[in-house]
Amino acid sequence: MDLGLTGRRAFVTGGARGIGAAICRELAAEGAFVYVGYVGSKAGPELAAEIGGAPVKVDVADYDATSAAVGELGTLDILVNNAGMDDMAFFTELTPERWRPQLAINLEGVLNVTHATLPAMQAAGYGRIINVSSEAGRIGSKRGAVYAAAKAGVIAFTKSIARENARYGITANNILPGPIETPMLEANRQGPRGDEVIAAMANATLLRRIGEPHDVAAAVAFLASDRAAYITGETLGVSGGMGIGVS
């Protein structure tokens, strides 16, 4: 199915690996020119070269740096706010020093990049914003309270942006992944009782399995396309049914 993304210009934050890398590959395969956002690894430039895109080194938690980086890209057609991080622990085990980075990247990073991107989209009268939140933001997460709070903020922010920008021809939607095979999930697998934790995640889905990055990427590509032109302010779970509970 041709999604009609040829010639579209897309920026994917956290695009170097995991879900972000799958999104970059999917958008590029559909014909978009993709700016691959990354922080410090070689994976960002390597992926950009692989897909014929361009690397963009930026810390989304830094507003000034983000504004400068986005300003150099020109008008974007598609923005995918995907950058994220977690720090799994019971809330009482955390300190402000451990929860502030989660808020800065998972929530403020979305605000920073969107704030830098929107004016040009508004002037162009076109835009597709897809924010990668999490089912944790909808149903909560044991040992992930701050992560869930930040992701819930992204859900509400996206709906608000949809309301504010529909008159400019801009849509904004949420994708809520469940457990997906990513480096972040692998880190949890290597932690205490890791296999048990991952099994519990899989069993919390109706499909009783862990998803793959391409599952999320396919949903993002659809929402980025004009086939989804009449969809905005929505929240789509890509989580094997986790959002409605286990039957």
Reported as a pLDDT band with limits 50, 70 and 90, residue 4 is: confident
Active-site residue, from 38, 147, 168, 230: 147
Residue 141 covered by a domain: yes
Please confirm, yes or no, whether 38 is among the known catalytic residues: no
Residue 144 covered by a domain: yes
Reported as a pLDDT band with limits 50, 70 and 90, residue 18 is: very high
Q: What is the pLDDT of residue 246?
A: 60
Residue 3 covered by a domain: no
Question: What is the rounded average pLDDT for all residues in the chain?
Answer: 93
Residue 4 covered by a domain: no
**Residue 101 maps to which CATH number?**
3.40.50.720
Q: Which domain, by its residues, includes 221?
A: 9-237
Name every residue whose Cβ is closer than 8 Å to that of residue 128 and which is 6 or more positions away in sequence: 77, 78, 79, 170, 171, 223, 224, 225, 228
Reported as a pLDDT band with limits 50, 70 and 90, residue 181 is: confident
Residue 35 covered by a domain: yes
Kindly state the average pLDDT of the residues 15-30: 97
Reported as a pLDDT band with limits 50, 70 and 90, residue 188 is: low
**Rounded to the nearest 5 degrees, what angle is found at the Cα of 188, between the Cα atoms of 27 and 99?**
85
Name every residue whose Cβ is closer than 8 Å to that of residue 173 and which is 6 or more positions away in sequence: 129, 130, 131, 158, 162, 223, 228, 231, 232, 233, 234, 235, 236
Please state the domain count of the chain. 1
Q: What is the pLDDT of residue 210?
A: 87
Residue 120 covered by a domain: yes
Residue 39 covered by a domain: yes
